[in-house]
Amino acid sequence: MKRFLVIGHKAPTAGEFALNDLPGGAGRLDVLCRSVNSCFFLSHDLRRDVECFLVLLGEPNPPKTIMISGEDVRHLNPDERSAGSLIKKALNIPCGNKFTESTKGFYVRNGGLKELLEEYEFAVLDENGTDIRDISPMPDNYILSDHMNFTEEEELLIKDLPKISAGPKVLHADHTIITILNESDRRE
């Protein structure tokens, strides 16, 4: 299983946002929706061996985490609005500290980065890290930020984790995920 955790620093934690304003009123949720698509979509197929965690830190109830399981997911289509709509449904159900399924393969709970770090071993995707091509075996689990830098509090939590670069240029989060999955595909 491969896991990608993307931190959405302004992404909403309630389902009241408008699906036609994902980049604006929804706190750059478009970045997270594209990251979901990068985790799962192949041409006419889905990556069933990937899980995607979206850590949402916007108002009104941060932090919340949405988990999407490639093995179980249904109703996800390769456009941002489709992922946005399933995230909206997840944010509209009551949630506690354990994952509750909102639609097939989409789960939501309270909590964020700290909880996930206690559950899995992650590497941090960072353009200044060690080149992925110099690392063997590849890590299974990766953390990325959205369009913003990691906060000081996040930096403290991840300071001892391995930092891995997907290449010499700063990429968008969704493109970084594709690059890492491509490297993994080649090795498999």
Q: Is the peptide bond before 63 cis (omega within 30 degrees of 0)?
A: yes
Residue in the structure block whose two tokens are 């890492």:
180
125 known member of a binding site: yes
88 neighbors 19 (Cβ within 8 angstroms): yes
What CA–CA distances, in Å, run from 104 to 28, 77, 163? 24, 13, 33
114 neighbors 151 (Cβ within 8 angstroms): no
Q: Which stretch binds ligand SAM (CB under 6 A): 8-16, 21-29, 151-159, 160-168?
A: 160-168
Q: Of 20 and 149, which has the nearer Cβ to ligand SAM? A: 149
Considering only residues 117 to 156 of the shown chain, the ones binding ligand SAM according to CB under 6 A are: 125-127, 144-145, 147, 149
Q: Of 46 and 171, which has the nearer Cβ to ligand SAM? A: 171
State residue 139 phi and psi, 5-degree precision: -65, 160
Site string for ligand SAM, 1-40 (x = CB under 6 A): ----------------------------------------
Q: Of 127 and 183, which has the nearer Cβ to ligand SAM? A: 127
Q: Of 14 and 171, which has the nearer Cβ to ligand SAM? A: 171
Strand partners, 51: 3, 69
Distance of CA 17 to the CA centre of its chain: 19
Q: Which stretch binds ligand SAM (CB under 6 A): 9-17, 76-84, 103-111, 164-172?
A: 164-172
68 neighbors 39 (Cβ within 8 angstroms): yes
Binding site, by residue number, is 125
Q: Binding residues for ligand SAM, per CB under 6 A?
A: 125-127, 144-145, 147, 149, 165-167, 169-173, 176
